[in-house]
Amino acid sequence: MNSFKKMEEFGNRTAVYAERKYSYSEMLEIADAICGKVGERTLVFCLCSNNKESLFGYVGFIRGGVVPVLLDASIHIDRLRRLINLYKPTYIWASSENQDLVKVMDSSFVFGDYTLFRCPTFFQHDLHEDLALLLTTSGSTGSPKFVRLSYENIFKNAESIAKYLDINADDRPITTLPMNYSYGLSIINSHFICGATIIVTDASVMKKEFWDLCREQGVTTFGGVPFVYEMLNRLKFEEFNLPSLKKLTQAGGKLSETLSRKFAKVCNQRGIQFFSMYGQTEATARMAYLPCEKSLDKAGSIGIAIPGGELILQDDNGNKITAPNVIGELIYKGANVSLGYAGSLFDLSKKDENNGILRTGDMAYFDQDGYFFISGRIKRMIKVYGNRISLDEVEGFLNEHGHDCICAGTDDQMVIYTLKEDYVQIKKLLKEKLNLKGFKIIRIKEIPRNHFGKILYSELPKYG
């Protein structure tokens, strides 16, 4: 199942706007030429930015049965070398100005600002026939672990997303997220299979040029992680004049209930559909969505399973939970569940290890209407004086009460990292409202985050 092979039918429709228009026919001609230089089913590293070169290379490789590994173009050379040693790609599709590659590799094809670099050592990969793509697990910056995705995973998920978002050929999304990130890539996949036009930019939502491009190109849709919505809130998004905007999507972590409500209200007033969504790279991208008409009524919920998927809860004994408001582990079933992980090239021949079932690692409950709510991560649970505490719940509670802080810790030692001198108020709040003991408060200058805005708890200053 490779839906990119059917893209010819969109012909002269505009596929991409990147300084100028590229029709589907023109994009496919370039994409197939890039892949044609690889010439066989093998492994290629793609160092991606939000540009036409990365996009066309990706489309070409998927269409031609070459397996791309999508990596951030700004990857540190030491990490890149480590990954090259572990996976031995045949080619690297990257910026022609990447001096680390120019010095050691020959150029075999050039398009725009990108070069197809041939790696000096050739390795014959044993790739499973279903393997289509490798993506990093979100948040892992130093890990060589990739998620193995099949053609069915990619396109079943894209079709499901297109269905519940009602995507059509007139949609014009703009790139706000890295395409090597599963959420950013799902926006590309779900729009390309519908013949839509993707507006490609590397500009941040904090830049005037981003909003000028939105207005000039009649952008209808964009997506963001919670960090993007926090920035939009600071920019006073409610005052923006964006007459073409029809749809906003949010995923990549839990948006605070306050901001969820605020954006739902603003969107309702402006005739914009606002969708909160939930997913993991291990499920290609999306597993659940909150229908836009429920965005206020069920603010804070991840919603219901995507078309073709199923969400269930299990208790500690592995029994299915059937009553509302009972917390258990969230399990997802669907055709978009990945084949498994890879730690090196020797894992690329492995069969499907998940069989369509993903244990998400999230704790959740559903309400009396069947809408799901995440209560925290299994790994973000600690015991303090024998009481089980969700670090995510405490964090959310403090944020809702106006404290810009995050929580970490181990059993019998919870640590609250705050950006302000608000120790006294935090202490009072936790003791009076949550009856918590055994915590420490540390002030930090900024919250460490990765490119996607996700918090890097491992990089917080140590305590003790």
Within-domain flag for 188:
no
Query: What digits encode the pLDDT tens for the residues 247-288?
Result: 999 998 888 888 999 999 999 999 999 999 999 999 999 999
Q: Rounded to two decimals, what is the model's pTM?
A: 0.86
Q: Count of domains in the chain?
A: 2
Neighbours of 204 (CB within 10 A): 11
Task: Report the DSSP beta bridge partners of residue 340.
Answer: 148
Within-domain flag for 312:
no
The answer for 126, left when phi > 0, alpha when psi is -120 to 50, beta otherwise, is beta
Strand ranges (DSSP E) for 119-197?
Answer: 131-136, 146-150
> Residue 412 — pLDDT band, cuts 50, 70, 90?
confident
Within-domain flag for 109:
yes
CATH of the domain at 402: 3.30.300.30
Query: What digits encode the pLDDT tens for the residues 321-365?
Result: 999 999 999 999 999 999 999 999 999 999 999 999 999 989 999
Q: Exposed, middle or buried: residue 269 (CB in 10 Å: 0-12, 13-18, 19+)?
A: exposed
- What's the chain's average pLDDT? 91
Within-domain flag for 186:
no
Element housing 187 (H / E): helix 182-192
Biggest alpha carbon–alpha carbon distance for the chain: 67
SS3 19: coil
Neighbours of 376 (CB within 10 A): 20
pLDDT for the residue numbered 376? 80
- Which long-range contacts does 347-355 make (Cβ < 8 Å, 24+ apart)? 347/148, 348/43, 348/67, 348/87, 348/125, 348/126, 348/127, 348/128, 348/131, 348/148, 349/126, 349/127, 349/128, 350/128, 350/148, 351/128, 352/130, 352/150, 354/282
Of the residues 63, 95, 125, which one is the last residue of a structural domain?
125
* 386 DSSP 8-state letter: T
pLDDT for the residue numbered 1? 77
Of the residues 110, 125, 140, which one is the last residue of a structural domain?
125
What number of CA atoms fall less than 13 Å from residue 185's CA on the CB side?
A: 32
Within-domain flag for 378:
no
Region of poorest pLDDT, from 79-83, 115-119, 437-441: 437-441
Within-domain flag for 64:
yes
Query: What digits encode the pLDDT tens for the residues 149-198?
Result: 999 999 999 999 999 999 999 999 999 999 999 999 999 999 999 999 99
| Residue 464 pLDDT exceeds 70 | no
Of the residues 80, 103, 125, which one is the last residue of a structural domain?
125
Query: What digits encode the pLDDT tens for the residues 205-235?
Result: 999 999 999 999 999 999 998 889 999 999 9
Domain that holds residue 404: 385-459
CATH of the domain at 47: 3.40.50.980
